[in-house]
Structure 1
Amino acid sequence: MISLKRYLDGERVPPTGEEDLPETGILAVALAAYGSALMEMGNCSLEACPGLGDELKHCLRELQEGLVVTMSREAIQTTDKDAQVQLREWGRRTARHYREKAGEVRELLLTVARTAESVGARDQRCAGQMHAVTDRLQAIASLEDLTEIRASIEKSTAELKSSIQRMSEEGKAAVEELRKKVSDYEAKLEAAEELASRDALTKLRSRLYLESQIERHMAAPRRFCIAVADIDGFKKVNDQFGHVVGDEVLKQFAGELKSACRSTDIIGRWGGDEFLILLDCGLAEASAQTERVRKWVCGSYAISSPSGRIKLELNASIGLAERAPDEKMKELLSRADAAMYAQKDAARDGTRL
């Protein structure tokens, strides 16, 4: 195992018998592993907090792209410190974000409690007024003068009517205020749920959303299939043209994938250059659909880059699996993934399964 820390500390890594790489080769492997870890942290931050993860992922990517073998030890240490600062800042912002969300929920609960309290106070106040009216009506029975009786009844009736009207108005105001608060919170909650269900880069459905939909399909007694699509040779695109172009490829590919799928299909980004399609049908129909999708998404792409337009020929491998009775999600995904890699192997051999 290569120790990047020991390299940064100036220690020489002793040979293990399995590593006969020159020092630059060892550093290249270590930097590649470190860069991969940075990118994975960026991807995980999107899942943890979609609203704030995209900024961290962008910053970590810039640090990852700056990792080259010719870097000095000081430059690597600076990159490492920058990464730590970015992670700490993201952690603080995320904690503050969730505190604010928790505060919104708390405010809603307090509004409900205040509304219930005000309704209770109003009812007690009206009950007191009702008792006063009742006492006055009872006192009327002891009156002998008809004029006094009539005046007392009219006064009691007016007070009773006023009390009922006030109770109705106060109740409507309290309920309306509560309804407004709940409506505002529902709108915020829906926006947050929509954001969490979308992949920040491609705007397709997120992995978490896909997993929830697979679980829903598994709970229902119906046939469905999973298709895993992977762009062939995508790493070469990133290595040759950089991650900015790679991101543009992913966005365009996602758009073509969505266009090729049916309205009943659920499409999302599983991770990296891997996409997933949930098809609500049996294997035969799903097989015909995925082949149509593969032909649609494969071909020429015109990509914008800082240096101008780039034309790329993209191919994709798609693995398909129908869920077997009582099969777990992990097993189903594993079969679809294996079918996708079989497609890749067949493409390298010049054939297509």
Structure 2
Amino acid sequence: ASNIATPVDDGWLEVRFPERTASWIRLAALSEVNGQGWASAAELHVLDAEGKPLPRNKWAIEAEHERNNGLRALPRNLIDGDPLTWWHSPWKDPEKPVIGKIIPHPHFIHINLGQNYRISGFRYLPARIHNNNGMIRDYEFHSRENHQDWGNPVAAGVLVNRLRVTRNYFGPGAVFFDARNYPGKDQAVFRHDLDKQTTKLVENQAHLLSMHGPYALITSQNKLILRRSDDPSYRFELTPHINHGHHGHIVIEGDRLAMGRHKIVVADLKKKQFLEIPESPGSRRNHNGTFVRISNGHFLKIVHHGNKQELSLINTASGKILEGTMEIQTERFAEERFIKAPGQRLLSFGRTLLFYDNSTLSAWVTAD
């Protein structure tokens, strides 16, 4: 049978299964929440037919444990009644402790209950160790009478279903975060609703790239995807209009997306539509160049050609582009020579663009 542990009081996790008779039990740890090779536990109880813990005074317990840690990692700590002590599987090869090779899963805990009992479940208390070391994720639980074969597990599934969060971004109404759920190491993106306090997986095999107001930019299986924090149903796929490797050049302001370092792209995010930008024969506006934010939804694309700069003024509201040439600025606009605020990714100016050329400081001023 498949079981996912139920949280109970004070951090305990409980698994129930159909009542049966047993004098021996075995807990097999098959994986760890962080994807490591070890296992640990603070306390372990076996439940009687009514779901109450059995007395543990006659128990005999065996488990491989870390022998380089004094008395801290012993199996008997699982039944000493102290939640601050713990058992831990070996984290070093006992024959080659200097190398520190982790003994892989599975790790077993064997308990002789001392007599036959009718049992119906067990409780597991994770150890309080830095980084949750050894916290058991996947498990199998066996029981038997006397020295019978263990047979099939009476319960199997997940004890601790914990995500390992890589990054998170807050937006209006929700938090987006990406995380791995071991033992499968594929990363996924989740949306946590701040009002409903619910979490939903929104993209599989995905990474969270950046947040722009309510818009979360996500990469999933070589696709670029936008999600909204205030609308759980919103999903806008940017590929193939925007290549996966160019996501760092995307600019989102309000409900408009613009990109211009290479090909000029403009999108209406509310309508989930890319604006049609007519071709301009002979124009170099889609060549590699410098992309500058001006103001009021306008951007300037600067492409150096020969001894002049070809300019494209982009209106993100309409998608219209006005083109021109700067004749008197013959030297290439080198982006590292522009003056911009520390940490500012995109060049921007309201009316004046400052740049320096060796020892000369120049200013370009926009017309009213």
Report the TM range for the smaller structure's normalisation. under 0.3
TM-score under structure 2 normalisation?
0.25
The structure whose Rg is larger is 1
Higher normalized helix content (fraction of residues): 1
Higher normalized strand content (fraction of residues): 2
